């Protein structure tokens, strides 16, 4: 996947996401000819917009992304982990820093409740946070797959438009997942559970509407 984010001067910063190895990996892009062939095959519409494509692609460093899931987050009351040290996520929801700030709020509350027992503080903190940070890790990977495979799909765009419409009609009862993640303080795990319930309700409503439509068509054809 390649994305382009706008800058204040009107330019764009492009980021290319590939595996390190394999036919479509970074290790296969060793010459300018390799880069041009790759982009001509996968991103032909972007090539005319990037006159320095091959040179820039080969001169920029290749970074890495990781997801960290670990347990425990503490060793008794002597040391505890928070932030990326125990729950780094890929950046496709833009929530890594927010999750770390939430850690600070939750840890502060645990200190207020359990101080000076640091083992109890760390245990309570991990108990409150790990389910949510594991959920965020899954949601971030899911959002990458959604961006990569579905954003150009007409059916996907219809689904998103329907979600926005339902949110406008029922702002407190139906909230799209992305909105819950990015613009509310609903815990990540609860947002995922709520989104799954909403998706189930949408599928049921769509099936019902389809059934009614088919029955109406049958009735009209017989009439």
Predicted confidence band of residue 223 (pLDDT cuts 50, 70, 90):
low
Domain map (residue ranges) of the chain: 2-59, 74-133, 154-222
Range of lowest pLDDT (6-10, 90-94, 169-173, 219-223):
219-223
Predicted confidence band of residue 158 (pLDDT cuts 50, 70, 90):
confident
Collapsing DSSP states into helix, strand and coil, what is residue 58? helix
Mean pLDDT of 100-114: 97
Contact 92, 140 (CB under 8 A): yes
% of the chain residues with pLDDT over 70: 100
More confident residue, 4 or 206: 4
- Tens of pLDDT, residues 27-37: 999 999 999 99
Asked if omega into 110 is within 30° of 0 (cis), the reply is no
């Amino acid at each position: 996947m390649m994305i382009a984010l706008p800058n204040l001067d009107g330019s764009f910063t492009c980021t290319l996401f590939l595996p390190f190895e394999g036919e479509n990996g970074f290790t296969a892009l060793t010459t300018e000819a390799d880069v041009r062939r790759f982009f001509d095959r996968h991103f032909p519409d972007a090539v005319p917009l990037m006159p320095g494509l091959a040179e820039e692609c080969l001169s920029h460093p290749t970074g890495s992304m990781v997801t960290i899931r670990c347990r425990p987050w503490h060793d008794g009351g002597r040391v505890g982990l928070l932030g990326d040290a125990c729950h780094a996520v890929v950046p496709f929801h833009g929530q890594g820093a927010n999750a770390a700030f939430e850690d600070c709020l939750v840890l502060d509350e645990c200190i207020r409740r359990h101080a000076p027992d640091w083992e109890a503080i760390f245990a309570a903190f991990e108990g409150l946070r790990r389910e949510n940070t594991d959920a965020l890790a899954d949601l971030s990977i899911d959002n990458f797959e959604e961006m990569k495979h579905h954003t150009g799909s007409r059916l996907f765009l219809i689904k998103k438009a329907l979600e926005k419409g339902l949110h406008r009609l029922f702002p407190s009862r139906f909230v799209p997942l992305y909105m819950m993640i990015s613009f509310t303080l609903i815990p990540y795990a609860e947002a995922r559970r709520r989104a799954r319930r909403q998706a189930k309700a949408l599928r049921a409503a769509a099936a019902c509407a389809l059934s009614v439509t088919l029955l109406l068509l049958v009735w009209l054809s017989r009439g």
